[in-house]
Structure 1
Amino acid sequence: MRDEWQTQAVRRVEADPDAIHLLFPQAERKGGPTARSALLKALGGDHATIRKLYERGDTGERLAILTALPELDLGPAAVDLVEDALRANDARLVAAALGPYGSAWLDDHAFRHGVLKCVFMSIPLAAVSGLERRFDAELARMLSDYAAERRAAGRPVPRDVMERI
């Protein structure tokens, strides 16, 4: 039944991209966990529509969009969505922002600050896609400064931070 709903919904979006605005919010409930991603793929890289869905979406919808970004062939067009998610106070959105898409397209400054935000929010650094590839001297310095501040305050330093400095 869920597969059937997803198949029909994808066909509707392929025929009429505006149909996604009605289908996307109900997709997970009616079509299962992969339905939102399938609908986004059916848009064929329509960044403007994806942006509208993100801006109007609830946390679950935003999370689905951030998670699907690597599969949507948008190039750097959706970096603004990732940057918005990095300003959120929801750890799930921040972690998703530093998934494969964010790791590939964020500039060095934004990536470093995203990593530091993960540390502040107790998001394990293992959740940061491409951290080993993107790790540089400036990020090492930032993490080292963070660790020094924690020690000076008599607070513990997270193990995954200690492993990288």
Structure 2
Amino acid sequence: MERSLPQGGEARTWLDDALAEAARAPRQARWELHFASAGRHCGPAAATDARVLLLHAAGAGAATLGRLYRQGTAAERAAVLSALHLLPTGGTPQAVPLVEDALRANDTTLIAAAVGPYAAEHLDAHAWRHAVLKCLFTGVPLDAVAGLARRARGDAEVARMLGDFAAERAAAGRPVPPDLHRALDLTGQARARGDRPDPPVPPHAPEQADPPEEF
């Protein structure tokens, strides 16, 4: 995180002061104003990490996180999602509705933030499988999915869903994302194919006669 935070100058001074205020008076609204203005003071590249640190310093609870998420911009919502596993709420499923809301969107930044460590621990199997498919559908790299190898291992249902998705893409003449095959390999199930497998030939099936020669 430190690599994207301001290392000196006015931006660093502003961030240090904002963090101190959030830690000192987490129940006052002023640090939430700092949360909203982090992009202006720290720059867009550092704003997410600055906001995550502010949430951590304030020990933001579920009610505060929900309010900041609902009222925030896409960047502020992504910061809330990125911070969940670092906060007291991270040990509970209270913030799952925020993750589910982000996964209903088509904003790839929100989707990538939603499938982080908090989702790996608290999304149920059905929601997690659809989150993986959502990443593939929207082009979010599966490297963003925390705990992918652990949760995919032995999951025959997600393997089936991945296979169906691959078949649908191939039938529509669209490429199958390479990430799909990697995820399917992690399940330990049969590898996805670009089309449906040929039906098995019954045992002792009679051989077809050669067509008559034409003269």
Normalising by structure 2, what TM-score? 0.71
1:22 to 33, 57, 60: 33
The count of residues paired between Structure 1 and Structure 2 equals 165
Q: Which has the higher contact order (CA 8 A, sep 6+)?
A: 1
Q: Which has the higher helix share?
A: 1
Q: Which residue of 2 aligns with 1:99?
A: 116
Q: Which shows bigger deviation, 8-17 or 65-74?
A: 8-17
Q: Which residue of 2 aligns with 1:38?
A: 53
Q: CA deviation at 1:48?
A: 0.6
Q: CA deviation at 1:61?
A: 0.5
Could you tell me how far apart the structure 1 residues matched to 2:82 and 2:16 are? 20
Q: Which shows bigger deviation, 60-69 or 2-11?
A: 2-11
Normalising by structure 1, what TM-score? 0.91
1:131 to 125, 128, 148: 148
Q: Which residue of 1 aligns with 2:203?
A: none
Could you tell me how far apart the structure 2 residues matched to 1:31 and 1:95 are? 22
Give the gaps of 5 or more residues in structure 1. Answer: none
Q: CA deviation at 1:155?
A: 2.2
Q: Which shows bigger deviation, 23-32 or 87-96?
A: 23-32
Q: CA deviation at 1:116?
A: 0.5
In the alignment, residue 166 of structure 2 is paired with which amino acid? A
Could you tell me how far apart the structure 1 residues matched to 2:139 and 2:41 are? 33
2:68 to 53, 71, 80: 53
Identity among equivalent pairs (%):
52
In the alignment, residue 61 of structure 2 is paired with which amino acid? D
Q: Which residue of 2 aligns with 1:10?
A: 19
Could you tell me how far apart the structure 1 residues matched to 2:78 and 2:87 are? 14
Q: CA deviation at 1:146?
A: 0.7
In the alignment, residue 42 of structure 1 is paired with which amino acid? A
